[in-house]
Amino acid sequence: MIIETENQLMTRLSAALLLVITILISSIAIVLAKPVLITIPPSQFNWLQMSVALICLVLMELFYVLSKNSPLLKAKKLLLYAALIGFCNFTVVRWIFLVGLEHLPVTTHAYLVNFVGVVTMFLSIIMVKEKPHLFQVLGAFLSLLGLTLYFSAPIDSSQIFGVAIMTVGIVFLAITNNLIRKCLLEFPDTSVVSLSTYAIVLGGLPIIIWGLIFDLPSLEVDQYSMGVIAANGFFSLALTLIVFNLALKTLLSYEASILASTGVIFTAVFAVILLDEPITLLQISGIIILLAGIMIVQGYTHLLKWLSTEK
């Protein structure tokens, strides 16, 4: 059994905290997007925010390369990783999740997306050879219990197609998480800005080109909606992608993925503040249980260190 040093624990804590803060910020943009999506189709919103994210990441990459005098990604295997990550995350997952949203209620859709953490956990055993501790498995399922309480609406038979296609998307997103972790373990000196940029260029550009060809001629977006789209493109896509990739240099793939479930909590809080949406006692109970599960998944190493000290 491996017990982490104090420095390693602090590094993990810093990575987790940075990811949570980023998710908190992006949750505000996501909540603001809810009323905008009433007037703008999700497919248009998707390629527009992806365009903003791509532009931001390309500019960041150029600044990084010029300021650090750093070479662009050149290793063939590293480019292959970026292509696979981009294809899975931007070409496949984004499209599948949009199709799923057309066949499922928003709450059901959000509930299913949060199964990514558990799927990532089990795929990490195969793809990255990182086995979760029993405490982490229990914490992951406790998180799912909290999510089940939060999204209490049952799934009926008319939603079977939506659930089926979402399952495919969840698997691809879990594969994405493990591909990023595997890439950063194999190429530890890789810039997360470069990896994020190449991934969105290789995987997201086809979606953007499709939008420019078929949507741009009839596109009508007001100034406020464009501002919300830009905020989601920068904070929810570009910044979150960089920070998530950075966290995966330290955290295991499923740890980062389950930690991302805190977005449900922040979204609920900001929806109450900004949109006056109600929150029930059952949802609050779900949030508390979800937090307990996340704390178990993230804090098991502290527990192991304490137990070893006691001995």
pLDDT for 143: 84
Question: Any alpha helices (H) in the chain, and if so which ranges?
Answer: 6-36, 42-68, 76-86, 94-103, 106-113, 116-127, 134-150, 160-186, 192-214, 223-231, 240-247, 253-259, 262-275, 281-310
pLDDT for 81: 94
Distance CA 93, CA 85 (A): 10
Contacts of 277 (CB under 8 A, 6+ apart): 271
End-to-end alpha-carbon separation of the chain, Å?
A: 14
Q: Convert the pLDDT of each residue in 116-134 to its tens digit.
A: 888 898 999 999 998 887 7
Contacts of 259 (CB under 8 A, 6+ apart): 16, 19, 20, 23, 247, 251, 294, 297, 298
Mean pLDDT by 10 residues, the chain (311 residues): 60 88 92 87 92 95 74 77 95 88 76 85 92 81 82 74 91 96 92 92 93 90 95 94 93 85 81 82 85 74 50 48
pLDDT for 179: 96
Q: 103: which 2 tokens?
A: 């066949």
Give the predicted TM-score (pTM) of the model. Answer: 0.85
pLDDT for 302: 52
Distance CA 9, CA 6 (A): 5
